């Protein structure tokens, strides 16, 4: 593969009408499967067959992600989705919210005993609120105001230019930890908040997070994203060494997050330009570095195609299963880099990732995508059980169809020429 621009004899899937039809059909299939996740208090996790387990309970993460995804579908003109968006908003305003201290529990009415408040979850609430507002959902403005208030009051650190990680229920006992993952999803949420509110301070905050975590720490580490830090932002390289396959805080570097960060960096660059800001030149350079490193060290590194979950500090595989969200982000980032640069090598990667997803991840029998494959690319469930996640896969089929700015739901609304109701 070369860095040459696409020549006249090389057609891009991004411009192929049949490819867009395929993406749209896959999106409808994903949405149809995910609707079964609805429960009284929000959205819960589906099993591999698309059924709700007997003990299913609403979770803030899944409810927020579903609300965001169904909002995207509604602004695209897909019938039946607005009611699901409003169900999600009502759940986030009701049983998932801490009416006494503010903020959101991880599980409805904290039935799991966990009453802590995590930046990661609150970023998704802000994203859901922003998308619900774009969809014109009842209650979205109230939810957005609450999410902004909590982020401003507790999570955003102006001194650090980043998000604090977590607190006890009453906002005491701040965790002595800083995480790249929560700040990555904070960046995503802040891009959406900038579009929902019209306030450029969210873009300025997103740039500060990217500058610290990517232009600083990741660039100094060969564009392997350092995930775990202490409260003073000193890297904690042995974090979770005894639990390397943790679903949220694994040991080592996570190539899927390198892809995700790369895409968000490009969205930030485009959003800054759209807002008439001078976007730093290093944004594109860093996005390319993240993508190249993830492809180099994670793809087909153990004799079988696919991207491994984690790497150690010598870029050797640690947790080898292939996760669906990693490949969804890889394909979306290849599309973003292709749009930004026009370089043929990103088209090659884009096709490679989608071919792999079609052959191994898409489940034509039971629906949705397998969430995990083992080292032989056979469906497994050592890290993630069932098929609870619509968010990554649905974004992957939507992102190739729009530009790099505004943020996803706003861009889809512009594309469909829908005007949010007041």
The enclosing domain of 367 has a CATH number of 1.50.10.10
User: Helical H runs in 94-236?
Assistant: 119-134, 140-150, 180-197, 201-210, 219-220
Task: Report the Cα 3 to chain-centroid distance in Å.
Answer: 27
Provide, rounded to the nearest whole percent, the portion of the chain with pLDDT above 90: 93
| Backbone CA torsion sign across 235, 237, 240, 243 | positive
Looking at residues 79-92, what average pLDDT do you find? Answer: 98
**Which band of pLDDT confidence, cut at 50, 70 and 90, is reported for residue 171?**
very high
pLDDT over 50 (residue 4): no
4 is a domain residue:
no
Looking at residue 8, what is its pLDDT?
52
Give the Cα separation of 19 and 231 in Å (integer): 46
Looking at residues 315-330, what average pLDDT do you find? Answer: 98
6 is a domain residue:
no
Known catalytic membership, residue 110: no
Known catalytic membership, residue 15: no
**Which band of pLDDT confidence, cut at 50, 70 and 90, is reported for residue 7?**
low
Looking at residue 303, what is its pLDDT?
87
Task: List the domain range (segments joined by +) for residue 25.
Answer: 13-416
Please indicate whether residue 302 or residue 161 has the higher confidence score (pLDDT): 161
**Which band of pLDDT confidence, cut at 50, 70 and 90, is reported for residue 2?**
very low
7 is a domain residue:
no
199 is a domain residue:
yes
Q: Which of 168, 141, 163, 139 is nearest to 152 (CA)?
A: 163
Count of residues for the chain?
422
Helix (H, G, I), strand (E, B) or coil at 345: helix
Looking at residues 295-318, what average pLDDT do you find? Answer: 97
Looking at residues 232-245, what average pLDDT do you find? Answer: 97
Give the Cα separation of 209 and 203 in Å (integer): 10
Looking at residues 268-282, what average pLDDT do you find? Answer: 97
363 is a domain residue:
yes
257, 267, 327, 370: the catalytic one is 257
Structural domains counted in the chain: 1
412 is a domain residue:
yes
b/e string for 305-338 if b means 16 or more Cβ within 10 A? ebbbbbbbbebebbbbbbbbbbbbbbbbbbbbbb
Looking at residues 169-195, what average pLDDT do you find? Answer: 98
Looking at residues 364-369, what average pLDDT do you find? Answer: 97
pLDDT over 90 (residue 258): yes
∠171-177-182 over CA atoms, to 5°? Answer: 80
- Our CA dihedral for 247, 253, 259, 265, rounded to 10 degrees, sits at 110
**Which band of pLDDT confidence, cut at 50, 70 and 90, is reported for residue 421?**
very low
∠236-293-11 over CA atoms, to 5°? Answer: 150
Phi, psi of 53 (to 5 degrees): -60, 160
Looking at residue 110, what is its pLDDT?
73
Looking at residue 108, what is its pLDDT?
86
Region class of 76: left (phi > 0), else alpha (psi between -120 and 50), else beta: alpha
Give the Cα separation of 154 and 103 in Å (integer): 10
Contacts of 183 (CB under 8 A, 6+ apart): 119, 162, 163, 209, 212, 213
153 is a domain residue:
yes
pLDDT over 60 (residue 388): yes
Phi, psi of 5 (to 5 degrees): -70, 160
User: Helical H runs in 57-165?
Assistant: 60-75, 82-93, 119-134, 140-150
44 is a domain residue:
yes
């Amino acid at each position: 593969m070369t860095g040459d621009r696409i020549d006249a004899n090389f057609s891009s899937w991004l411009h192929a009408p049949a490819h867009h039809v395929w993406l749209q059909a896959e999106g409808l299939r994903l949405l149809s499967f995910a609707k079964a996740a609805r429960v009284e208090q929000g959205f819960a996790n589906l099993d591999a067959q698309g059924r709700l387990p007997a003990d299913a309970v609403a979770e803030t993460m899944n409810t927020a992600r579903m609300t965001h995804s169904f909002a995207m579908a509604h602004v695209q003109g897909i019938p039946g989705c607005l009611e699901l968006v409003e169900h999600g908003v009502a759940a986030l305003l009701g049983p998932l919210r801490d009416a006494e201290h503010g903020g959101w529990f991880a599980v409805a009415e904290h039935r799991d005993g966990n009453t802590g408040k995590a930046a990661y979850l609150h970023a998704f609430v802000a994203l859901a609120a922003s998308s619900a507002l774009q969809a014109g959902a009842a209650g979205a403005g109230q939810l957005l105001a609450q999410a902004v208030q909590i982020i401003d009051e507790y999570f955003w650190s102006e001194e650090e230019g980043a998000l604090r990680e977590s607190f006890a229920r009453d906002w005491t006992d701040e965790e002595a930890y800083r995480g790249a993952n929560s700040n990555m999803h904070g960046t995503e949420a802040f891009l959406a908040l900038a579009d929902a509110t019209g306030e450029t301070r969210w873009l300025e905050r997103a740039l500060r997070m990217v500058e610290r975590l990517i232009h600083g720490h990741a660039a100094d580490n060969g564009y392997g994203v350092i995930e775990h830090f202490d409260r003073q932002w000193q890297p904690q390289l042995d974090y979770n060494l005894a639990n390397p396959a943790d679903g949220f805080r694994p040991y080592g570097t996570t190539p899927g997050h390198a892809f995700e960060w790369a895409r968000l960096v490009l969205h930030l660059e485009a959003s800054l330009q759209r807002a008439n800001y001078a976007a730093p030149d290093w944004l594109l350079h860093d996005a390319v570095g993240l993508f190249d490193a993830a492809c180099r060290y994670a793809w087909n590194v153990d004799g079988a195609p696919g991207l491994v979950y984690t790497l150690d500090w010598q870029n050797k595989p640690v947790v080898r299963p292939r996760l669906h969200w990693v490949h969804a982000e890889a394909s979306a980032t290849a599309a973003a880099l292709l749009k930004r640069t026009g370089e043929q090598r990103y088209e090659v990667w884009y096709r490679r990732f989608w071919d792999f997803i079609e052959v191994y991840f898409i489940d034509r029998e039971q629906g949705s995508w397998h969430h995990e494959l083992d080292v032989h690319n056979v469906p497994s469930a050592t890290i993630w059980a069932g098929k609870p996640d619509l968010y990554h896969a649905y974004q992957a089929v939507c992102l190739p169809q729009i530009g790099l700015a505004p943020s996803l739901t706003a861009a889809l609304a512009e594309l469909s020429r829908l005007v949010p109701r007041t």
